[in-house]
């Protein structure tokens, strides 16, 4: 039987990908950031999930204003790195997990989540930067990946409560899959940042730390946080953090915090990294 | 288009990309997105005005694009993830774009320094009522 | 204030569009079909909805296997007739209703329906045939249209229950729109038909008539009908009828059946037409 | 690809387009859909085999397409809404396609007559157990 064994939360800041790709990780600005990632890297090297469900968002790469899906799940055998305007990142092609992805898709739609089923989707920094953070620069990514793309750039985003419940439904889907498969789920994006407008550069580290405390120990407290509170308190792009609620929903009520790290700034963002395990692992 | 008052309109210096912005900025954003493709970047570099003629932009939008008026693009319906494609095209960093949108004399260096010092403070920046 | 005043159910068989476009409506095969539509045409001419929300499905015209959305709502100012392989139908361009469509979209997502927001969508017979049935061959369609595209061709389709609840949420959304607007909602597709396989040509008129009885008077009885029951009893393409449940969900618990007509065959399908009004109209 | 038994597999003469069919028939269906465009119809008409070479089809799929083996296309992952694009291309009616898939000696005229007489009966066609 398949099992969701752990969850990872991480910001997916493009500058991190650029630092990896251009060998800047030992520069003074970046050293503390990449050092802070080390324990998570070690953890995943030991844990070796077979499949990572990566909850991320597209940033005008695969999708455009022509069609914006609230939740899109990737069922393809592979996903190519997207050209975001600099040429595609030179990272391995992302291998999908079509059979499990279809199993999850069917289960989610029967559980009344209105998924978009996607077979053609170049993946941008939202998905590849978290892989770089956790796995560094391998020849091939050491896991299969199921991309789960969430709309966070068009208002209105899905509610935190919907995201949390989607996580629960994903867990149920995984646990009804007959093959022995170790699944980890990544929530990506956040924490506080605002890229746009006169308020660009906004950071609210205090809010983020409290939010992380609650995410780990009392997610019910934050799942009804309103869109306007996220926009106001964590910046217009901070609302990405709702994607961590999907990850959290897929885990036990009581989880073990394996690792947590935050750092400010990474580019224009309060960087956050979190590793959670279900207690019975 | 009726302008409905929303509670997030009270947040200062923030352009929430809702349906009303979407409708205003559709073609502006679709132009920006086209720069994902190398062939389009080449064409735009060769003749910006000719390239823009393909898109049914308003005169104000065209002007804001040609002048790289980042804040004005947001006001005219731009979405930062789309307009940043144009900043990438120009070789700008996110900090340079942030400084330019701050609408003050901030330089890229100032902006970087602000980030290293913990970013723009939330205090005083929650509500238009505070900033006035 | 906007109001949902009525619902229309109709099959959207492409041959009906062809019969209209090529002036065959008076031929022996077609005459009884088009005569049967007359009372519905008269009703809509008198009722004059400002906006029709047309719940339909795309048949490999706007969308492909690259991305299949469970529910997609069209927010564009206009929608062009699609080329389905014969060249586009020569019918008027479909004018959208962007402001109301966005209002509904926001409301639905906040109510935890995971909509895809679409601005670029050529519309095929699924949408234009119902307009031809109700409005004939005008110079311009006499109403604005909000296309609501439902996946019914990729298994799994949304459940009947989800469709019914989407209808309820649409009604709530419409009723919170501040401008005086008369809205009708069309459920299209069905009734029993099977286009594919050795069982092609299957019709189950008895099941359809009972289903229509229940749809009008006791929709709760059929909203949990399983996918397999639809596939088995009404043919592999008969499951389209779930789109009528969205229409029904948007109406009062007790409705007035203004008109009902069925005819077999139209092409390979048991044709159905239904006009329902809320009691207080 | 593991083949999971589903309750709808018991329905006779019916190819439910689920995930497993989707994966099998992806390129076959995408080829069919390409015929929505006049320029592609022209190219395909000019040289069917050359046109098909653009798509990574299996030999069986290619053969079924060239031979217009409608039932075989369904078995190899075709979806009727996609394969019917090819029937439209050939100028076939839905009744002719229905007759061809019935896998009997049925002609288009027979199929039309069956429809006029109320269609294929549900009795005896609900379950493979009934038909055997
Ligand atoms: Fe992001
Ligand atoms: Fe249909």
Residue D131 has pLDDT above 70, yes or no: no
Q: How many CB atoms lie within 10 A of CB B13?
A: 21
Tell me whether residues D115 and C153 touch, CB distance under 8 A. Answer: no
Select which of A12, A193, A224, A263 is catalytic. A193
Distance C126 CA to ligand 2 centre (A): 6
pLDDT tens-digit map of A156-190: 999 999 999 999 999 999 999 999 999 999 999 99
Residue range A2-278 forms a domain whose CATH class is: alpha beta
Q: For C2, what's the count of Cα atoms within 13 Å in the CB-facing half-sphere? A: 25
Distance A59 CA to ligand 1 centre (A): 7
Q: How many angstroms from the chain centroid is the CA of residue A85?
A: 22
Tell me whether residues D97 and C155 touch, CB distance under 8 A. Answer: no
Residue D1 has pLDDT above 50, yes or no: no
Number of inter-chain CB pairs under 8 A, C vs D: 145
Q: How many CB atoms lie within 10 A of CB C150?
A: 27
Chain C positions in Cβ-Cβ contact with residue B30 (cut-off 8 Å): none
Tell me whether residues A162 and C116 touch, CB distance under 8 A. Answer: no
Phi-psi group of A143: left, alpha or beta (phi > 0 → left; psi -120 to 50 → alpha; rest → beta): beta
pLDDT tens-digit map of B58-85: 999 999 999 999 999 999 999 999 999 9
Nearest CA in chain D to C86: D88
Q: What is the mean pLDDT of chain A?
A: 97
Distance B8 CA to ligand 1 centre (A): 20
Closest CA–CA distance from residue B67 to any residue of chain A (Å): 17
Query: Is A103 tagged catalytic?
Result: no
Residues on chain C bordering chain A, Cβ-to-Cβ distance under 8 angstroms = 65-72, 106, 109-110, 112-121, 154-159, 161-162
Q: What is the C-alpha separation between C229 and C231, in angstroms, rounded?
A: 5
Closest CA–CA distance from residue D1 to any residue of chain A (Å): 7
Q: What is the C-alpha separation between A33 and A18, in angstroms, rounded?
A: 13
pLDDT tens-digit map of A10-28: 999 999 999 999 999 999 9
Q: What pLDDT does residue B3 have?
A: 54
Distance C42 CA to ligand 2 centre (A): 25
Tell me whether residues D36 and C83 touch, CB distance under 8 A. Answer: yes
pLDDT tens-digit map of D54-84: 999 999 999 999 999 999 999 999 999 999 9
Number of inter-chain CB pairs under 8 A, A vs B: 146
Query: Is A193 tagged catalytic?
Result: yes
Tell me whether residues D18 and A106 touch, CB distance under 8 A. Answer: yes
Closest CA–CA distance from residue A187 to any residue of chain B (Å): 20
Interface test with A, best of D1, D2, D8, D23 (most A CBs within 10 A): D23
Tell me whether residues B114 and A201 touch, CB distance under 8 A. Answer: yes
Q: Which of B2, B20, B26 sits opposite C119 (nearest CB)?
A: B26
Nearest of C89, C208, C76, C228 to residue C157 by alpha carbon: C228
Nearest of A129, A121, A259, A113 to residue A190 by alpha carbon: A129
Q: Which of A99, A105, A106 sits opposite D1 (nearest CB)?
A: A99
Checking DSSP bridges between strand C78-79 and strand A144-150, what pairing results, if any?
Answer: unpaired
Tell me whether residues D19 and A106 touch, CB distance under 8 A. Answer: yes
Ligand nearest to C-alpha A125: 1
Buried b / exposed e along D31-66 (16+ C-beta atoms within 10 A): bbbbbbeeebbebbeeeeeebbeebebeeebbebbe
Q: Which of B38, B88, B98 sits opposite A201 (nearest CB)?
A: B98
Q: Which of C114, C156, C162 sits opposite A70 (nearest CB)?
A: C114
The domain limits of chain D are 13-92, 94-132
Q: What is the C-alpha separation between D43 and D53, in angstroms, rounded?
A: 12
Tell me whether residues D19 and A103 touch, CB distance under 8 A. Answer: yes
Widest pairwise Cα distance in chain C: 52
Q: How far is CA A163 from CA A73, A215, A260, D93, in A?
A: 14, 13, 22, 46
Checking DSSP bridges between strand C2-10 and strand C269-278, what pairing results, if any?
Answer: antiparallel
Q: What is the C-alpha separation between A147 and A144, in angstroms, rounded?
A: 10
Say which CATH superfamily domain D13-92 falls into: Dioxygenase LigAB, LigA subunit (1.10.700.10)
Q: Which of D8, D116, D127 sits opposite C265 (nearest CB)?
A: D116
Q: Which of A70, A120, A162 sits opposite C67 (nearest CB)?
A: A120
Q: Report residues of chain C scoring pLDDT below 50.
A: none
Report the DSSP beta bridge partners of residue C56.
C149
Nearest CA in chain C to A162: C112
Q: What pLDDT does residue B130 have?
A: 84
Closest CA–CA distance from residue C158 to any residue of chain A (Å): 6
Which residues of C are part of the catalytic machinery? Answer: 125, 193
Q: What is the C-alpha separation between A117 and A148, in angstroms, rounded?
A: 10
Q: For residue C78, give both structure tokens.
A: 């206009």
Ligand nearest to C-alpha C127: 2
Tell me whether residues D84 and C237 touch, CB distance under 8 A. Answer: no
Residue A3 has pLDDT above 90, yes or no: yes
Topology of the domain covering B16-92: Protocatechuate 4,5-dioxygenase; Chain A (1.10.700)
Distance C252 CA to ligand 2 centre (A): 26
pLDDT tens-digit map of B13-60: 999 999 999 999 999 999 999 999 999 999 999 999 999 999 999 999
Buried b / exposed e along D106-129 (16+ C-beta atoms within 10 A): bebeebbebbeeebbebeebbeee
Q: Hey, which bits of chain C come out as E strands? A: 2-10, 51-56, 67-69, 71-74, 78-79, 94-95, 116-118, 144-150, 181-188, 255-266, 269-278
> Alpha-carbon torsion D101, D106, D111, D116, what sign?
negative
Q: What is the C-alpha separation between C266 and C13, in angstroms, rounded?
A: 8
Q: What is the C-alpha separation between A272 and A204, in angstroms, rounded?
A: 12
Distance C68 CA to ligand 2 centre (A): 15
Give the full edge-to-edge strand order of the sheet including C51-56: A67-69, C116-118, C71-74, C144-150, C51-56, C181-188, C2-10, C269-278, C255-266
Residues on chain D bordering chain A, Cβ-to-Cβ distance under 8 angstroms = 1-2, 18-20, 22-23, 26
Chain C positions in Cβ-Cβ contact with residue A115 (cut-off 8 Å): 70, 114
Nearest of C111, C110, C126, C109 to residue C73 by alpha carbon: C109
Give mean pLDDT, residues A74-95: 96
Q: Which of A67, A114, A121 sits opposite C70 (nearest CB)?
A: A114
Q: How many CB atoms lie within 10 A of CB C142?
A: 16
Q: Which chains touch D (3 or more CB pairs under 8 A)?
A: A, C
Interface test with B, best of C77, C98, C116 (most B CBs within 10 A): C98
- The secondary structure of residue B83, as a DSSP letter, is H
Q: What pLDDT does residue B104 have?
A: 83
Q: What are the residues whose beta carbon lies below 5 Å from ligand 2 (ion)?
A: C 189
Q: Which of A85, A196, A203 sits opposite B101 (nearest CB)?
A: A196
Chain B positions in Cβ-Cβ contact with residue A64 (cut-off 8 Å): 29-30, 33
Chain B positions in Cβ-Cβ contact with residue A233 (cut-off 8 Å): 122, 126
Give mean pLDDT, residues A215-219: 98
Distance D128 CA to ligand 1 centre (A): 51
Q: Hey, which bits of chain A come out as E strands? A: 2-10, 51-56, 67-69, 71-74, 78-79, 94-95, 116-118, 144-150, 181-188, 255-266, 269-278
Q: What is the C-alpha separation between D50 and C89, in angstroms, rounded?
A: 30
Secondary structure (3-state) at C266 = strand
CB-based touch D/B (3+ pairs, under 8 A):
no
Contact by Cβ (8 Å): C277, C255: yes
Radius of gyration of chain C (CA): 17
Contacts of A222 (CB under 8 A, 6+ apart): A160, A211, A214, A215, A245
Distance B32 CA to ligand 2 centre (A): 36
Contact by Cβ (8 Å): C67, A67: yes
Tell me whether residues C102 and B20 touch, CB distance under 8 A. Answer: yes
Q: What is the C-alpha separation between A270 and C32, in angstroms, rounded?
A: 69
Q: Which chains touch B (3 or more CB pairs under 8 A)?
A: A, C
Chain B positions in Cβ-Cβ contact with residue A191 (cut-off 8 Å): none
Q: How confident is the model at residue B5 (pLDDT cuts 50, 70, 90)?
A: confident
Nearest of B29, B27, B31, B34 to residue B15 by alpha carbon: B29
Q: Hey, which bits of C134-190 come out as E strands? A: 144-150, 181-188
């Amino acid at each position: 039987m398949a099992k969701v064994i752990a969850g990872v939360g991480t910001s997916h800041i493009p500058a991190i990908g650029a630092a990896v790709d251009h060998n800047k990780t030992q520069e003074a600005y970046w050293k503390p950031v990449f050092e802070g990632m080390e324990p998570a890297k070690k953890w995943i090297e030991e844990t070796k999930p077979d499949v990572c469900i990566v909850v991320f968002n597209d940033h005008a790469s695969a999708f455009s204003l022509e069609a914006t899906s609230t939740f899109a799940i990737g069922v393809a055998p592979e996903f190519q790195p997207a050209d975001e305007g600099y040429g595609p990142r030179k990272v391995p092609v992302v291998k999908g997990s079509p059979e499990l992805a279809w199993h999850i898709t069917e289960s989610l739609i029967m559980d009344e989540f209105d998924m978009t089923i996607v077979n053609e989707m170049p993946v941008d920094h939202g998905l590849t930067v978290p892989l770089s953070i956790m796995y560094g620069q391998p020849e091939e990514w050491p896991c299969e990946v199921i991309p789960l793309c969430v709309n966070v750039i068009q208002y209105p985003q899905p509610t935190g409560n919907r995201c949390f419940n989607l996580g629960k439904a994903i867990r149920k889907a995984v646990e009804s899959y007959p093959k022995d498969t170790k699944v980890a789920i990544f929530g990506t994006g956040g924490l506080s940042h605002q890229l746009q407008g006169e308020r660009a550069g906004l950071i609210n580290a205090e809010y983020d730390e409290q939010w992380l405390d609650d995410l780990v120990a009392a997610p019910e407290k934050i799942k009804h946080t309103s869109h306007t509170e996220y926009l106001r308190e964590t910046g217009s792009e901070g609302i990405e953090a709702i994607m961590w609620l999907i990850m959290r929903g897929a885990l036990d009520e009581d989880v073990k915090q394996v690792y947590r790290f935050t750092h400010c700034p990474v580019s224009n963002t309060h960087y956050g990294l979190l590793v959670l395990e279900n207690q019975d692992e | 288009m009726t302008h409905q008052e929303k509670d997030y309109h009270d947040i200062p210096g923030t352009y929430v990309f809702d349906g009303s912005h979407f409708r205003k900025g559709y073609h502006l954003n679709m132009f920006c997105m086209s720069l994902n493709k190398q062939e389009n970047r080449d064409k735009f570099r060769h003749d910006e005005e000719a390239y823009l003629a393909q898109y049914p932009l308003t005169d104000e939008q065209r002007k804001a694009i040609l002048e790289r008026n980042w804040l004005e693009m947001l006001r005219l319906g731009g979405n930062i993830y789309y307009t940043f494609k144009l900043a990438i095209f120009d070789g700008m960093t996110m900090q340079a774009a942030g400084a330019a949108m701050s609408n003050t004399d901030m330089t890229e260096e100032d902006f970087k320094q602000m980030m290293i010092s913990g970013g723009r403070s939330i205090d005083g920046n929650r509500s238009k009522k505070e900033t006035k």
